[in-house]
Amino acid sequence: MLDRTAETSLPHAAAGESFGRRLARGLRRHPGIVRLGVIATLFVLWEVAARYWVDPMFLSPPSRVIGSIQSVFATRGVPAALRITFFELAIAFVLSVVIGLVVGLAVGLSRFSRASFMPIILLLYGTPQITILPLFILYFGIGPASKIAFGVSHGIFPIMVTIVAGVQNIKPILLVSARSMGASRWQIFRWVIFPHMIPSFFAGMRLGMTGVLLGVLLAELYVSTAGIGYFTTLFTQNFDPTKLLGLISLLAAMAIVLNEIVRRAEVHFGRWRAE
Amino acid sequence: MNGRDTRQSRLLSRLVQIMFLIVLLVLWYLATTKWGVSHLLLPNPVKVYDELKDVLASGEFIPDLRITLTELAIAFALSSLSGITLGYLLSRSQFLIRVFEPLLAGVYSIPIILFLPLYILFFGLGPASKIALGTTISFFPIVLNTIAGFGYVDRIYVVAARSMGASDFQLFRWVLLPAALPVILTGLRMGFIVALLSILGSETIASLAGLGHRIVHLAEAMDTARMFAYIAFAVAIAASLNVIVTMLEVKGRR
């Protein structure tokens, strides 16, 4: 009540309020800016909490973590461990895509093999592979081989499942009309199945990348005598949260970049269908 | 004719599946008995079966299973409580949805297993770090599905209920909740499964007790037959929990 009379009688106050309202309206239209504000607030809270409330043995502020990334890199063996992890991720991803694609096509292209093998694939996909991680280490050792194998075991199933689903979802009328116009098997594959598979192929690659990241990182963390797992264990035992957070951020950045590449590819190559 | 054809091919498919499993078992058996694969790497399936019977009969698994299930129950309770509450509060405003949903989805796309070393530093090797990881990982599908469930209820229903004079509670109980429930239940199921997987995973990586810890312990002792038995046991537990939550989800949808 009082506000309204003030608004009508004082032009300055009215201008000030309309600015505030305009700002609010502007922010409402740009949730991205507010989102950045939320992220910044969280970082400030983290900084304040780490500086004043939490024992420095357990948490260190983001400013110090960012500064520490250089010293993480300078720790003997860390650059090599990161490089090996990246290499494991790349190999595991390529292997998952190739195996997943081949098996997915072999299973998906015929109705009979789909009915026979799809339940087996889904069963394997549904089992918690983490329980057999020690077996992978037993068979493949603590080097890159076990991590690649474990990454592949997490990556191939989502790829296979999406490829099979993609092949299955092709409208039968397209296949029938291609065949009735005299297309050969190869021509049907090249000009009907292949273009229709591309969106699901990239969707599968994105899920596969998530799986490969999970598998490789699980195996890396599990083996505490070499690679990333050695350093996370070392930093934890030394109560060195600064370096631990630095190393974790580097790995998270690696994961984000890889995810983003695959996601962009999916958006890019899935576009023809929407148009 | 067509019906009999499909029934015949379905029968054939079952046959192929059964044959596949039998061939696998026979290869496994032959590899351990005839081809001389070391029993340290691959134990004899018969021995694994005996070990499994022993594990089940002796009740040795009970303490480990109890720890794993307790961790799972606490983690799931925490994540579903916080995820549904936060998801509901955020879903009340389209603006908040647009601010927070991409943020939560972005964090969800990072492999959260990376937080495990941090949680071990904070909470130690005991159950607390597993509960923390399970809670964190299962929080995201639950909160995202709650937002999706409550946030995208058709406005027409809300307006219609309001114009017929529904109170806040009536609107929630009779309009929002029934519309959102199927999506939320899917989120809860996904959250439960990832919580189970992450708890087994963190027990495998670093822990003092639990099913995952037992498997690692047997692997390090090179007692592979018993380890296979425990793996089979853990897989069976995970599969039955999976079936139970899927059944609950289907039941809750109706």
CATH number at residue B168: 1.10.3720.10
What are the φ and ψ backbone dihedral angles of B43, each rounded to 5 degrees? -75, 160
CA distance A219 to chain B (A): 8
- Which of A92, A69, A49, A255 lies closest to B114 in space, CA to CA? A255
- DSSP for A203-269, written as a single string: HHHHHHHHHHHHHHHHHHHH-TTSHHHHHHHHHHHTT-HHHHHHHHHHHHHHHHHHHHHHHHHHHHH
Instruction: Assess if residue B51 is contained within a domain.
Output: no
- Which of B183, B85, B182, B78 lies closest to B127 in space, CA to CA? B78
- State whether residue B197 sits within 8 Å of chain A by CB: yes
The Cα–Cα gap between A187 and A178 comes to 9
Q: Which residues of chain B have pLDDT under 70?
A: 1-5, 254
What's chain B's length in residues?
Answer: 254
What is the CB-side half-sphere exposure of residue A31 using CA atoms within 13 A? 11
Please give the single-letter amino acid code of residue A84: I
Q: Give the architecture (CATH level 2) of A69-274.
A: Orthogonal Bundle (1.10)
- Owning domain of residue B23: 1-37
Of B10, B114, B234, the CB nearest to A115: B10
Sign of CA dihedral B140, A46, A235, A81: positive
Token look-up 């930093």 returns: A235
| SS3 call for A52 | helix
- Beta strands of B93-241 (E only): which ranges? none
Q: Are residues B21 and B147 in the same domain?
A: no
Task: Report helix, strand and coil shares of chain B as percent, to nearest 5.
Answer: 85, 0, 15
Q: Cα separations (Å) of A34 from A27, A37, A40, B20, B90?
A: 7, 5, 10, 56, 14
Chain B hits for A217, Cβ within 8 Å: 111, 113-114
Instruction: Assess if residue B214 is contained within a domain.
Output: yes
For the CA atoms of B139, B141, B146, B148, what is the dihedral angle to 10 degrees? 150
pLDDT value for B219 = 84
Q: Are residues B167 and B248 in the same domain?
A: yes
pLDDT value for A15 = 52
Contact state of B20 with A236 under an 8 Å Cβ cutoff: no
CA distance B106 to chain A (A): 9
DSSP H helices in A55-193: 62-74, 78-108, 111-126, 133-140, 144-168, 172-180, 185-188
Q: Cα separations (Å) of B179 from B55, B155, B182, B184, B230?
A: 46, 11, 7, 10, 42
ipTM of the complex: 0.81
Q: Cα separations (Å) of A75 from A237, A246, B15, B212?
A: 16, 12, 57, 31
- Which of A205, A87, A187, A189 lies closest to A147 in space, CA to CA? A87
The Cα–Cα gap between A213 and A148 comes to 10
Instruction: Assess if residue B45 is contained within a domain.
Output: no
Report how many domains make up chain B. Answer: 2
Contact state of A241 with B118 under an 8 Å Cβ cutoff: yes
Q: Cα separations (Å) of B134 from B42, B104, B239?
A: 32, 16, 18
CA distance A15 to chain B (A): 25
- Which of A252, A232, A236, A249 lies closest to A63 in space, CA to CA? A249
Contact state of A134 with B227 under an 8 Å Cβ cutoff: yes
Cα(first)–Cα(last) distance of chain A, in Å? Answer: 54
pLDDT value for A2 = 41
Q: Are residues B67 and B33 in the same domain?
A: no
Contact state of A217 with B121 under an 8 Å Cβ cutoff: no
pLDDT value for A73 = 81
Q: What is the pLDDT of residues B138-185, one digit of tens each?
A: 999 999 999 988 888 888 888 888 888 888 888 888 888 888 888 899
Instruction: Assess if residue B44 is contained within a domain.
Output: no
The Cα–Cα gap between A236 and A239 comes to 5
Q: Are residues B91 and B129 in the same domain?
A: yes
Q: Are residues B15 and B64 in the same domain?
A: no
The Cα–Cα gap between B116 and B211 comes to 18
Token look-up 């995952």 returns: B212
| SS3 call for B217 | helix
pLDDT, mean of each 10-residue run, chain A (275 residues): 42 60 78 85 86 79 82 82 89 93 86 81 84 87 89 92 84 83 82 80 87 90 82 83 85 88 81 57
**Are A248 and A233 spatial neighbours (Cβ–Cβ below 8 Å)?**
no
A177 backbone φψ class: left, alpha, beta (φ>0; ψ -120 to 50): alpha
**Are B100 and A38 spatial neighbours (Cβ–Cβ below 8 Å)?**
yes
Instruction: Assess if residue B128 is contained within a domain.
Output: yes
- Residue in chain B closest to A42 (alpha carbons) equals B103
**Are A100 and A152 spatial neighbours (Cβ–Cβ below 8 Å)?**
no
Q: Which two tokens stand for residue A158?
A: 């989502």
Instruction: Assess if residue B175 is contained within a domain.
Output: yes
The domain locations on chain A are 2-53, 69-274
